[in-house]
Amino acid sequence: MSDRPLSLFKLSIAVAFGLWLGFIAIVLTVWLASRYAPEHAVAPVAQAVQQWGKPAVAAPEPPNRLFEQYQENLRKQEQQQTLDQARNNPRNLSNPKCQFWLQQDQNAPSDRSRANVLQFCD
């Protein structure tokens, strides 16, 4: 029975020595690869090793594009509704400036023509 603790000790030493040799083999392989491999082949690995110790930084979320589109559509609908009301208002038939800008907006819609319709029409 006194033989058993000695063999367990020998097994532990052998495992520790194997782990140490494995570590040395990995270090030697990486060193040789970095020394003799072409630079462009090692660059991704080197970049990954540099980033390995850094904490991951979460990228800021982009603004919600669908919500922005929704707001833009609401603004356009409101503007179109206001223009339609100006076109259909009978009081605007006797207003020459309003008629001019309504015609301009109908023929060549622009921000300026819409702004003038809203300014000169009821």
DSSP code at position 8: H
Mean pLDDT of 60-69: 78
Distance separating alpha carbons of residues 30 and 26, to the nearest angstrom:
6
Tokens of 95: 């207003």
| Closest to 98 (Cα-Cα) out of 70, 121, 122, 81 | 121
Mean pLDDT of 64-69: 87
pLDDT in tens, 32-58: 887 887 766 666 766 776 777 666 666
Q: Do the beta carbons of residue 95 and residue 120 sit within 8 Å? A: yes
Q: Do the beta carbons of residue 63 and residue 94 sit within 8 Å? A: no
Q: How far apart, in Å, are the Cα atoms of 25 and each of 29, 53, 70?
A: 6, 22, 60
Q: Do the beta carbons of residue 92 and residue 102 sit within 8 Å? A: yes
Distance separating alpha carbons of residues 85 and 88, to the nearest angstrom:
5
- Helix H segments across 37-120? 39-52, 65-88, 96-107, 111-120
Domain ranges of the chain: 3-52, 65-120
Q: pTM of the full predicted structure?
A: 0.42
- For the ranges 8-17, 19-28, 49-58, 100-109, which has the lowest average pLDDT? 49-58
